[in-house]
Amino acid sequence: MLRLHTVVETKKPHPCGGKRWEIVRTGADYKIRCLTCGRVIMLTPDELLHRVRRIAEDA
C-alpha cells in the first residue's frame, strides 16, 4: 500500500519532464507533489495505482 512520503515513479512524465512524485496526503484521495517542479495534484486511489510504474523510495 502507498503511504505518506513514499516516492513513486509514474508511467508517463509530467509536462515539466519529471516522473518522480512524493505522496503528501492520503485518505479518500491522494495528493502527490512532483519532485521536479513542485506541482501538486489530487488523484483517487484507483487513478494513482493506474499511473504508478514503481515505488522509487519507500517511506
Give pLDDT tens digits along the chain (59 positions).
789 999 999 999 999 999 999 999 999 999 999 999 999 999 999 999 999 999 988 76
The pLDDT score that the predictor gives to residue 58 is: 77
- Strand runs labelled E in the chain: 7-10, 20-25, 30-34, 40-43, 52-57
Closest CA to 25 of 11, 43, 37: 43
In angstroms, what CA-CA distances link 18 with 13, 28, 37, 49? Answer: 6, 25, 8, 18
pLDDT, position 59: 66
Residue with cell 515513479: 9
- Cell triple for residue 57? 523510495
